[in-house]
Amino acid sequence: MEEMRLQKFIANSGYCSRRKAEELILNGKVSINGKIVTELGTKIDGNTNEVKIEGKKIMAVQSYKYVLLNKPVGYVTTAKDQFKRPTVIELVKGVGVTLLPVGRLDMYTSGALILTNDGDFIYKVTHPKHEIEKTYNATVKGIISDEDVEKLRNGVEIDDYISGKAKVKILKIDKEKNLSRAEITIHEGKNREVRKMCEAVGKKVIALHRAKIGNIHVKDLKIGEWRFLTNKEIESLKN
């Protein structure tokens, strides 16, 4: 095994994301051959060095798995939840390895979520510079006007930042029920971004579904079902 940075080795083991690994190293939770290491640039060979996190030995992963889940509402996107709520990990059984979610979907949002044990892949795909498009179907209270669409396309003010330019397409207007449905495609995917964008134009989201990540969609998966990503899909996300 070639030498690699400690945080990359930890991430590649599937223990946690690379960012979390860096945090663990800086907080003195990681040891190499019994000695605590706090330098992020430390390089190791996983075959000859014993790496432990808080006393637990970390093994190099032999094979990577990549899963696409059509997440139901009511599940949190985390490996463990302190409030004992159901997690997305409980839905992905029989893979044979410990998986981590790639990015997040809030508890009340359904749809496309990727899980993997490839920490390097998680780091690349979630890094803002890669700008992978995510497409959502949002059902909102009220009638979305052309003016609202224009504002969303140009970026709206949320909290302390302006959202990135979005692609917006109205799918349905129901004047009788005072509801609208729109397809919204964004790049960043900050915390609850689509919900906040809609609120910024005075429309409350009552249902939100992530239909696609890049070109990978979940329309052939029932809610709660998962499948392995194809090699072509994995490469499209990496590139």
Which residues are tagged catalytic? 106
Tokens at residue 19, please?
Answer: 């960012």
Interhelix angle 231-238/119-126, rounded to 10 degrees, is: 50
Burial group, residue 78, by CB count within 10 angstroms (0-12, 13-18, 19+) = middle
Which amino acid, one-letter code, is at 115?
A: L
Collapsed DSSP state (helix, strand, coil) of residue 205: strand
Q: Can you list the pairs that 177-180 forms with residues at least 24 positions away whose Cβ atoms lie under 8 Å?
A: 178/141, 178/142, 178/143, 179/139, 179/140, 179/141, 179/142, 179/206, 180/139, 180/140, 180/142, 180/143, 180/144
Angle at 125 between CA 122 and CA 130, to 5 degrees: 150
User: Which uninterrupted H or E stretch holds 100?
Assistant: strand 100-101
User: Which residues, including other chains, have CB under 8 Å from residue 195's CB and lie 6 or more apart?
Assistant: 106, 205, 208
Taking residue 88's Cβ as centre, other Cβ atoms within 10 Å add up to: 23
Taking residue 99's Cβ as centre, other Cβ atoms within 10 Å add up to: 22
